[in-house]
Amino acid sequence: MDFDRYDHIRPIRWLGSQLALLDQRRLPFTVEFVECHDSHAVSAAIRDLVVRGAPAIGIAAAYGVVLAAAEVTADTGAEALGKLAGAIDELNTSRPTAVNLMWASARMRRVLAVAGRGWRAMIEREARAIEAEDLAANRHMGLLGAELITPGSGVLTHCNTGSLATAGFGTALGVIRAGVAMGRIDKVFASETRPWLQGARLTVWELKEDGIPATLIADGAGAHLMKTGAVQWLIVGADRICANGDVANKIGTYAHAIAARHHGVKVMVVAPSSTVDMATVNGDGIEIELRDPRELLFSGERRAVAEGVEAWNPVFDVTPAGLIDALVTERGVIEHPDRAKMTAVFGDVSSA
């Protein structure tokens, strides 16, 4: 099926000697790319949310390794690997929850370890392959997920899981794009996703750019929306999926999933296999990133709450596998995921 009508945005541009990243902090009112000339700039861009979304972070990190390599003198990839260790470690620690980041840098390490004198070209090809594979996986997942949806359905999504969070098309938003194209989705709702408002600033902007009508709701309106019967699916992405099917995603996902179970709304998680971490047994083993309390205490540069008030600002939460009806990766659909089903698809590497 031709999805080009609903696939216009590309947030990552490799320019040969630099990486251009669409600055997602400035959307929707300013469309501007930040140019990264070295790996330190890429690490900062990941940490500061210039680029966000687990797959996009992984792709950016891969190109960050390529940029770091430009500053290294080495005859072989194995020799270069030792000299690049610091840059790769810096990239890995820029966002600790998104497993795609570590997955991409590990993939670059493996290529370097066996590369000969043509190691620079090899790692650039690998970074390009990571980007191309992600786009292909997203379109495939879009089809797989959309086929689960009854024609005429309404859906709710949380955070941003579209082109901005990936190489293009998106994960959860890719399913929504495919569902609209296939006539299976009639109505799309997006929650605002505080405190960074990825849903309000990014998701509804993406859908508008592609001509897909969407209705924005407050995060706290999700349960009431489900109660009205307006939505049949909650469709979200993931930053890490554990060996038992537990899923880390943007803060607020867990609450939506609980409300969905109560109201008979199905829950679909959509993510590439690079997001699956079979070495983490369950959600208790996931490091939940805490960000600056200022994100809650301030609106822009203006303080929004009284002086002396403290804030707790976890960026992610964990949705137990028992609340998930369908897990969609490019390898297929796992209904009601558990350890046995995850192992059958992804292998058992929990002791690795």
Taking only the tens place, the pLDDT of each residue in 279-292 is 999 999 999 999 99
Residues of the chain below pLDDT 50: 350-352
Which residues are known to be catalytic? 239
The pLDDT tens digits for 300-344 are: 889 999 999 999 999 999 999 999 999 999 999 999 999 999 999
Q: What is the pTM of this model?
A: 0.88
* Residue 156 main-chain phi, psi, to 5 deg: -120, 135
Q: Give pLDDT, residue 54.
A: 84
Buried/exposed code over 277-299 (b: 16+ C-beta within 10 A; e: otherwise): bbebebbeebeebeeeeeebbee
Domains within the chain, CATH numbers bracketed: 4-137 (1.20.120.420), 139-346 (3.40.50.10470)
Separation CA 85–CA 210 (nearest Å) = 41
